[in-house]
Structure 1
């Protein structure tokens, strides 16, 4: 029977760390990076690329070590603190500090991305296979609500800086970065108190655990061929993750470049968050009824439409409408992908396989921002750069069509 207390604590972590996703990755920091730190949407995309590479290198080995030592929660706590302190550290970024901003953002994204490797792995520990679509969707929906609420507070802070006695918008933005760190730590605490690591007989040294983790990772590479449906799903997921991640991290900087005012950009992202909250819950129920694969395919078609419409976007109203469309499918597509993957991996190797997925998806995830940056560099057109992202959603649709989820779940029950 599923433990409701553990599920609620697990879900609340999404509420906690989504503050980073909204304020740092999607809304305030991309605008601050361009307007204050004096970066460009191209340099912002390359910052995302650097972070993706670091997460890709760390996640699989640490995931394997977490399974060997039984310390998924401990690793999650460490990387949550890294992400939270990096968020607060962005308050020290001032005018023209593009390089400092890039370094701290990379550190924060490493905390966020690597931490999510262990967070996703804990889904198997707190929820039965029959409940994972709903529980995963609850997590993402609470993330939208929590991240949206703090973003709303930060938007009020930034817009009302003068009335509350702050010297300028820069100071208000810097305070908002600090609120992310505090929010992340405070609302992560229930998970760390409620969900405990499974005791492991492994009492080896750090060097011994690194060696064991590396050996386990090597076994993952050699054994994954025994799970062909999982391999096919991962291939589809790489493109899906890359496309969605590029939309998340590039939307605000793209809007800034084509002339959308910063207040309109943040307001539009708030629309995404508050539509995303109920839409993700509904998406999870629909996935439970119609099947995760069908709903995931539907979301990818919607993303294609969003990218094409984004190419022609010219006003704040257009950005609002597209933000609403993103809110309908973004959380649901991510939650459903997470639930599908959780059912297709062998038990007892959850952090390892989530680390492997994180490694491979992050390894390929620099492709989206990199393609955006290169197309922008070659064509000198942010619109053409955005349109190029459609390739990732098309590829995801094609590869997902060949995945047999039922067969994949049977393969996961095989003894390694």
Structure 2
């Protein structure tokens, strides 16, 4: 690797991966890092998607329609917060070079915020508190993910990064499924097997405590055994100025346009198809209910099955990533998902929706994990946190695309045709990523 100009970190030459160390991290460190994914998905699956958000909008709010509107507004503000804060916090972490400390602080903040959700009583006067806590936890969890993803280069080698990333992402799906099953059967359905009283919605509120404890338990290992870095004493002593940091981030984007065009290309292309990937799980339950008449239990069963299949697919394709490189995994999976989606729309049958829906689910995590490894392969290790912050920001910048297309196709042809909105987003992302070639990084060929 060539020496960088003064004041700038070294950039990888074409085909050269910017690894922190040539040797793999100890298994204990890798396991500790992976378990964080297992713990964090309790928030995404139980709080954000299936249980607590439904409690807040449907029970706490006196009017469910108003509850959904207030919740949507809060999540919009949260998205803006992530877009503004993620690259800034990433730049700060790169400066301190203490990802483990930053990840620990962010994780504990998410845990405390989730635990505070216990105080959201089933009264309309608590609606603002409920949506605010969920939105706040969303922002902090996204920022924590920036620090977490930035560790990947520290614990992997070019031959193991796909397997490590894929295994951790698969564990995230497993953690989400387990937490959801415990929440549904232990707390919610028929009063819950744990016998928590339903008066004052104590059982629903206790789900927040479950998720807080779940996240904390599985995060302790990375707090203790996670990879460590040696801080740059000169940079630590230098005052951190947010406005200056934003100027440096803008300068980094300009530099990417001039000197790291492949990295900028990937950030833009991945933002498009990641919006489609997010829509797969965001709209799957809605489409299953409105287009195929599934009730709440059937939708929950479909969701659990989809998460299990996603975990298996992510684990398998993580190994493929190490053999072929991330680009074939991303391109092949996106192409297959587009084809599966077209089949579902073409044949109006619940069995087809189930079979090909599971096929799509098996590939969602594979693309997400391979995207993480591709970004890690082409990012200078000294700028990993800032780059993953930009990765989060880019994703937020186009987060309107898939929902808008789903709404458009639904208005034109009904709920089942709305699936074409997701297919179209994935196809646009596939077209955007297709030209990207980085010899020795995007493919092993």
- Shorter-chain TM range is 0.7 to 0.9
Match of 1:279 in 2: 313
Match of 2:206 in 1: 175
1:128 aligns with 2:162: no
> Unaligned 5+ residue runs, structure 1?
411-416
Output the CA distance in 1 between the equivalents of 2:192 and 2:163.
43
Name the CA shift for 1:409/1:247 in 2 (closer, same or farther; >3 Å).
Answer: closer
> Unaligned 5+ residue runs, structure 2?
1-22
1:138 aligns with 2:167: yes
Tell me how many residue pairs correspond in the alignment.
408
SS of residue paired to 1:130: coil
- Deviation (angstroms), 1:167: 4.1
Alignment equivalent of 2:94, drawn from 45, 54, 67:
67
**Contact 1:227/1:408 (8 A) holds in 2:** no
Deviates more, 1:195-204 or 1:251-260: 251-260
Alignment of 1:191-340 (within 5 A): 191-195=222-226, 196-201=228-233, 202-204=235-237, 208-210=240-242, 213-225=245-257, 226-255=259-288, 259-305=293-339, 307-308=341-342, 320-321=354-355, 324-340=358-374
SS of residue paired to 2:298: helix
Deviates more, 1:6-15 or 1:154-163: 154-163
Deviates more, 1:336-345 or 1:49-58: 49-58
TM-score normalised according to structure 2 size: 0.81
SS of residue paired to 1:356: helix
Match of 1:11 in 2: 34
Match of 1:351 in 2: 385
Output the CA distance in 2 between the equivalents of 1:373 and 1:90.
31
Output the CA distance in 2 between the equivalents of 1:50 and 1:296.
30
Name the CA shift for 1:406/1:237 in 2 (closer, same or farther; >3 Å).
Answer: same
Match of 1:185 in 2: 216
- Going by fraction, where is helix more abundant, 1 or 2? 1
**Contact 1:26/1:252 (8 A) holds in 2:** no
Output the CA distance in 2 between the equivalents of 1:269 and 1:237.
25
**Contact 2:326/2:442 (8 A) holds in 1:** no
Output the CA distance in 2 between the equivalents of 1:87 and 1:374.
35
- Deviation (angstroms), 1:277: 2.5
Name the CA shift for 1:194/1:276 in 2 (closer, same or farther; >3 Å).
Answer: same
**Contact 2:270/2:371 (8 A) holds in 1:** yes
Alignment of 1:392-407 (within 5 A): 392-406=425-439
- Deviation (angstroms), 1:192: 1.1
Query: Once superposed, what is the RMSD of the aligned Cα atoms?
Result: 3.1
Name the CA shift for 1:361/1:68 in 2 (closer, same or farther; >3 Å).
Answer: same
SS of residue paired to 1:185: helix
Output the CA distance in 1 between the equivalents of 2:81 and 2:415.
26
Name the CA shift for 1:314/1:18 in 2 (closer, same or farther; >3 Å).
Answer: farther
Output the CA distance in 1 between the equivalents of 2:426 and 2:221.
36
TM-score normalised according to structure 1 size: 0.86
**Contact 1:49/1:369 (8 A) holds in 2:** no
Deviates more, 1:312-321 or 1:22-31: 312-321
Deviates more, 1:113-122 or 1:271-280: 271-280
- Deviation (angstroms), 1:104: 2.2
Name the CA shift for 1:165/1:391 in 2 (closer, same or farther; >3 Å).
Answer: same
Output the CA distance in 2 between the equivalents of 1:287 and 1:198.
30
- Deviation (angstroms), 1:117: 0.9
Output the CA distance in 2 between the equivalents of 1:133 and 1:124.
11
SS of residue paired to 2:439: helix
Q: Deviations over 1:109-132 (max 9, x none)?
A: 112211111111110111122221
Name the CA shift for 1:273/1:230 in 2 (closer, same or farther; >3 Å).
Answer: same
Output the CA distance in 2 between the equivalents of 1:99 and 1:67.
35
**Contact 1:286/1:295 (8 A) holds in 2:** yes
- Deviation (angstroms), 1:348: 1.1
Name the CA shift for 1:344/1:163 in 2 (closer, same or farther; >3 Å).
Answer: closer
Alignment of 1:104-119 (within 5 A): 104-119=133-148
Compare CA radii of gyration and give the structure with the larger one: 2
